[in-house]
Amino acid sequence: MPTPTCLACGRTQSEVPLITLSYQDRSFLICPQHLPVLIHNPQALVGKLPGAEGMAAAEHED
Ligand SMILES: [Zn+2]
């Protein structure tokens, strides 16, 4: 079984806390440092997270 790593930076859960994402019947892991990337700039994860190119960035209303 491969070592669980952040999909963005590849760090393991021995280095950083990892948050599990459930998406399209699969599970992905991301560290807190890269969670904002997923929220605000998901296009940056194209090629790392399947379907990221179709995700819309969260809009700020402020
Ligand atoms: Zn990361």
Distance 56 CA to ligand 1 centre (A): 20
Distance 41 CA to ligand 1 centre (A): 14
Give the model's pLDDT for residue 1.
67
Judge whether 44 lies within some domain: yes
Judge whether 12 lies within some domain: yes
Judge whether 61 lies within some domain: no
Distance 30 CA to ligand 1 centre (A): 6
Give the tens place of pLDDT for each residue, 4-41: 999 999 999 999 999 999 998 999 999 999 999 999 99
Distance 62 CA to ligand 1 centre (A): 27
Distance 59 CA to ligand 1 centre (A): 22
Judge whether 8 lies within some domain: yes
How many structural domains are present in the chain? 1
Handedness of CA 23, 60, 9, 33 (dihedral sign): negative
Judge whether 62 lies within some domain: no
Give the model's pLDDT for residue 51.
87
Cβ neighbours of residue 34 closer than 8 Å, sequence gap 6 or more: 6, 7, 8, 9
From its phi and psi, is residue 9 left (phi > 0), alpha (psi between -120 and 50) or beta? alpha
Supply the pTM of this predicted model. 0.82
Judge whether 34 lies within some domain: yes
Judge whether 14 lies within some domain: yes
Give the model's pLDDT for residue 61.
65
Give the model's pLDDT for residue 57.
85
Give the model's pLDDT for residue 36.
95
Which residues form the domain of 23?
1-55
